[in-house]
Each structure stands twice: as structure tokens, then as C-alpha cells.
């Protein structure tokens, strides 16, 4: 086996000096060299890339905004449901307990302080506005309303002139119905039309005196309706606007859910009057007494128990559509 000869490199001072000079030129300056070098051996994939982080945060921010939007929608919907629930509960509590002080004040003859909703205030204003409209025989609107009442009462009969004895068949006391409205005003005619349209069965039974044993001298149907309208206006203290009666305090609450509460109460009142008329076996001269007892019964029904609508009144069950 051949042996390898190890050659020794001869020492040369010039060579060492030149190598020292080369080393000095390759040493980096500690001040000018960047903290992260850019030498050829450095892995460029590990460099900090600002654009990559920006894209990441943009995506994260968009996702956060989307979830925030969904959360805001959920909170808004939940808030509306809570407000509606509280409003309904508050309305129920007010109906049950909120007006005991007002009722007590009205019994003592004092004006009852009421906390009415804007809707109740507006409907009460419109109702009182109707009271100020007198029947005007020269008004085409009022004439048409009277003709409409005839058509509803007698759909198969020819419409008579506005001044005719045929109007007495409906219960007007004169051949000219306009002379019977007086204190009832145009609203009493509207009440009769509402009765005929919404409760036609009861309307025609009372008009034709179809039930019970009748007196020889019956109360006139149409004129009786005008008197009922005026009685309700007094019972509910609508003309003064003070709502100082116990019945008025309870009635005004019904306007919240029923714009036609007065018209519906008129229909109930007419049915109650006829029922008491038959029970008393009354005749024409007793009409005012029956009207007073009708008022007493309505006041009792309005102020007794939890009444949230005219349909809750016990006497409402007598009405037939």
C-alpha cells in the first residue's frame, strides 16, 4: 500500500500579511450593516412582508364588521319586542288599576285627571267634533245620509220624498224627519246608519217591533234613536269635555282600540232600551223612564269588571248581526 506524503506549506511572512489584509477588507462595519443582513445565504421566504399582514387584518376587520352588523340587527329586533311587550302589559295594568283614583274623584264630584294616549285624545276630539254638527236639511250630504237610512231600513221599497208621511213608518214624528233631530244632531243619524249596517238583524227586529208583546202605543223607532244618542252624550259628559262622570272615565279608555266605540255603544243601548221596554210592558208615555233605566244599566256595565271594549259589555250579547 502506497503511503501518502504530506507536503508542508513553507512559511512565508508576505503571504500571511496579504491574507490579513484580505480579512480586514471583508469584516463588516458594525454601524453601517443592517440588523437583518441581506447576504446570499439568507432565506427570503422568512422576511417580514407588510402587505401580507395588512391583508390579514383587512379580512379580520371585515369579518368583525359583519358580525357587529348582525349583532346590531338582533339587538334592535329584541328591543322592539321588549318595548311592545312592556307597552301591552302597561296598557293592561292601566285598564285594571290605573283609573281607580279617577273613578273615586268622579264619585266625589271632582274632575277626574286622565292620562290619555295621543290616539285616545285624537279620537275623543273627533267624537266631540261630531257633536257640533247640527242636521242641516239644505245640506246634500245630510239629505243623502237620510236617504241611505231609508234604503237600509226598507231595501225593497221606493225612496219617498224628503217630506212625506211615509217617514212616520220608520218612527219619525213628523212628515219631515229633519224636525226630529234637534239635540241629537247629525251624529244621531250617523248612529242609526251604523246600527243598520253593522247589526242589520237587530236593527230590523227593533224597527219592525218583531219581538215580545207590544203596547198599543209603541215608542217611535227613529225618534227613539235620536233620544238615545243624546242620552249617551250626557252620560259620558262629552259636551263639557271634562269626562267627570265615572262612566266617561271608563268609556274613554275604549277609544284606544275602537274608533267606533260610541256607535257600538249606541247599538247596545238601543237593544237594552227595547229589552227593558218589553220587561216593563211600557207604553209611549213611559219612554223617558225606560230611557233613564237604560242609562243606569249601561253605567253599571261600563264601570263594573274589566271592560276593554264595548263587546265585553254583558248586554252586547243581545245584539245580532
Write the CA distances from 206 to 30, 116, 265, 277, 319, integer angstroms. Answer: 116, 36, 16, 11, 11
The predicted structure's pLDDT at residue 1: 44
The predicted structure's pLDDT at residue 307: 87
The predicted structure's pLDDT at residue 301: 95
133, 186 Cβ separation under 8 angstroms: yes
Q: Decide if pLDDT at 121 tops 50.
A: yes
- Quick one: average pLDDT of 180-193? 95
Structural domain contains residue 287: yes
Question: For residue 15, what is its C-alpha cell?
Answer: 503571504
The predicted structure's pLDDT at residue 150: 98
Q: Decide if pLDDT at 130 tops 60.
A: yes
The predicted structure's pLDDT at residue 78: 73
Q: Decide if pLDDT at 278 tops 90.
A: yes
- Whether this prediction's pTM lies above 0.75 is answered by no
The predicted structure's pLDDT at residue 252: 93
- The share of the chain scoring above pLDDT 70, in percent, equals 69
The predicted structure's pLDDT at residue 68: 72
pLDDT tens digits for range 55-95: 555 667 677 777 776 777 778 677 666 755 665 555 555 44
Q: Decide if pLDDT at 28 tops 50.
A: no
**Whole-angstrom Cα distance, residue 254 to residue 264?**
11
The predicted structure's pLDDT at residue 90: 53
Question: How many whole angstroms from its chain centre is CA 243?
Answer: 22
Question: For residue 203, what is its C-alpha cell?
Answer: 236593527
The predicted structure's pLDDT at residue 71: 76
Structural domain contains residue 73: no
Q: Decide if pLDDT at 196 tops 70.
A: yes
Number of domains in the chain: 1
The predicted structure's pLDDT at residue 25: 41
The predicted structure's pLDDT at residue 321: 74
Three-state SS annotation for 32-50: CCCCCCCCCCCCHHHCCCH
Structural domain contains residue 170: no
Structural domain contains residue 71: no
In this prediction, residue 21 has a pLDDT band, given cuts at 50, 70 and 90, of: very low
End-to-end CA distance of the chain: 133
Give φ, ψ of 118 to 5 degrees: -55, -35
Q: At what angle do helices 185-198 and 118-131 cross, to 10 degrees?
A: 110
**Whole-angstrom Cα distance, residue 68 to residue 93?**
37
Q: Decide if pLDDT at 258 tops 60.
A: yes
Structural domain contains residue 160: no
More confident residue, 83 or 106: 83
pLDDT tens digits for range 41-57: 444 444 444 445 555 55
Structural domain contains residue 56: no
Structural domain contains residue 231: yes
The predicted structure's pLDDT at residue 67: 74
Question: For residue 96, what is its C-alpha cell?
Answer: 285594571
The predicted structure's pLDDT at residue 2: 43
Range of the domain at 224: 120-133+184-318
Structural domain contains residue 215: yes
More confident residue, 77 or 289: 289
Amino acid at each position: 500500500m502506497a503511503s501518502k506524503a504530506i507536503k508542508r506549506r513553507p512559511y512565508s511572512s508576505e503571504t500571511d500579511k496579504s491574507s490579513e489584509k484580505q480579512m480586514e477588507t471583508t469584516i463588516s462595519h458594525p454601524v453601517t450593516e443592517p440588523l437583518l443582513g441581506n447576504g446570499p445565504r439568507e432565506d427570503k421566504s422568512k422576511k417580514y412582508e407588510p402587505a401580507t399582514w395588512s391583508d390579514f387584518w383587512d379580512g379580520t376587520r371585515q369579518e368583525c364588521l359583519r358580525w357587529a352588523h348582525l349583532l346590531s340587527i338582533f339587538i334592535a329586533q329584541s328591543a322592539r319586542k321588549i318595548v311592545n311587550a312592556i307597552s301591552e302589559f302597561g296598557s293592561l295594568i292601566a285598564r285594571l288599576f290605573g283609573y281607580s283614583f279617577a273613578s273615586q274623584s268622579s264619585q266625589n264630584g271632582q274632575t277626574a285627571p286622565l292620562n290619555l294616549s295621543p290616539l285616545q285624545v285624537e279620537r275623543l276630539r273627533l267624537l266631540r267634533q261630531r257633536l257640533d254638527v247640527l242636521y242641516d236639511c239644505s245640506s246634500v250630504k245630510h239629505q243623502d245620509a237620510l236617504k241611505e237610512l231609508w234604503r237600509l231600513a226598507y231595501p225593497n221599497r221606493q225612496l219617498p220624498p224628503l217630506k212625506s208621511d211615509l217617514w212616520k213608518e220608520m218612527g219619525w214624528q213628523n212628515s219631515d224627519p229633519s224636525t226630529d233631530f234637534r239635540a241629537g244632531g247629525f251624529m244621531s243619524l250617523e248612529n242609526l246608519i251604523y246600527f243598520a249596517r253593522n247589526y242589520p238583524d237587530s236593527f230590523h227586529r227593533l224597527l219592525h217591533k218583531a219581538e215580545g208583546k207590544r203596547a198599543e202605543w209603541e215608542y217611535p223607532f227613529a225618534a227613539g234613536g235620536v233620544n238615545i244618542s243624546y242620552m249617551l252624550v250626557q252620560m259620558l259628559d262629552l259636551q263639557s269635555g271634562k269626562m267627570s262622570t265615572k262612566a266617561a272615565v271608563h268609556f274613554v279608555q275604549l277609544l284606544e282600540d275602537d274608533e267606533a266605540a260610541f256607535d257600538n255603544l249606541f247599538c247596545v243601548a238601543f237593544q237594552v232600551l227595547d229589552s227593558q221596554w218589553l220587561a216593563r210592558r211600557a207604553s209611549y208615555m213611559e219612554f223617558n223612564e225606560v230611557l233613564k233605566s237604560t242609562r243606569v244599566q249601561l253605567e253599571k256595565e261600563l264601570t263594573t269588571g274589566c271592560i276593554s271594549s264595548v263587546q265585553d259589555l254583558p248586554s252586547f250579547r243581545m245584539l245580532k248581526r
